[in-house]
Amino acid sequence: MLYSPRALDFLQQVGIDDTELLKKMGIGFVDRTLGKQLPLGRTKAGALIRGNLQRLGLFVGSGGEFFRGALVFPNRNERGEITEAYGERITPRLRLGTPYHLYWSVQFAGFYNAQALHQSKEIILCKNPLEALILLSAGYCNVVATLGLRGFGTEHLEALADSRVRSVTIAFDGTVIGDQTSRLVAQALNACGIGCSRLAFPAGMDLKDYVLEHGTAALRFLVSGAQSCAQTYESLRGDGLC
């Protein structure tokens, strides 16, 4: 359960205030206190635990936590095991070179909130679990996410092709990279017989930015106004891909 007032305040700003949903999805916040809760490193038990965490990549070489200062969204495989996670740091201004987005994986776990693929023929695809949770909190249950804007791969495509999904609304950023990635994903999905549309974010915005500026109530206008998305020869030339 998430207890950090700082983290809860951040989530409330983007419309996430359902504590039961946070508990269900296993959302946590890394506040740098894990090391204090473990046995000392000079003890046998402490050395074993810390060594295992370091081998998994959850502790860095200095002994600090990989997800320090971040909200963490675990992703489970079909057996219910956590094998991937996404983290987003919530400090407004980080030291130059410190990443806001963190990705950890020991084994591919599929889409975040993958059960939605078996519950709806129409899916909204987000670039990360935080944005998926924003939509889930706003009442959109038909949402899944990858772990990053460039995280869509063959396994995701196969999962969609094998599901009952017939159309996907892509919720990637309103940026050059977001445009390019959306068209590439649409091209792959169209080849599998899955129709695609895209949320029309203002230039430079992503879903979190949109909610911070316009509020969650505006999401219904954004979703209802989704526009057709497809790869074209002209866009390929513009991207320098042909």
Please list the rounded mean pLDDT of every run of 10 residues in the chain (242 residues).
Answer: 86 94 94 75 78 84 84 94 95 86 95 95 97 97 95 95 95 96 95 96 96 96 94 71 58
Q: Do you know the residue count of the chain?
A: 242
Structural domains of the chain, with CATH: 5-105 (3.90.980.10), 114-238 (3.40.1360.10)
Q: What is the pLDDT of residue 44?
A: 79
Q: What is the pLDDT of residue 132?
A: 98
Q: What is the pLDDT of residue 1?
A: 54
Residue owning tokens 């600090």: 64
Q: Where would I find the beta strands (DSSP E) of the chain?
A: 28-29, 70-76, 82-89, 101-105, 122-126, 143-145, 167-170, 195-198, 227-228
Q: What is the pLDDT of residue 203?
A: 95
Please give the model's pTM, rounded to 2 decimal places.
Answer: 0.91
Residue 118 CA to residue 115 CA, distance in Å, equals 6
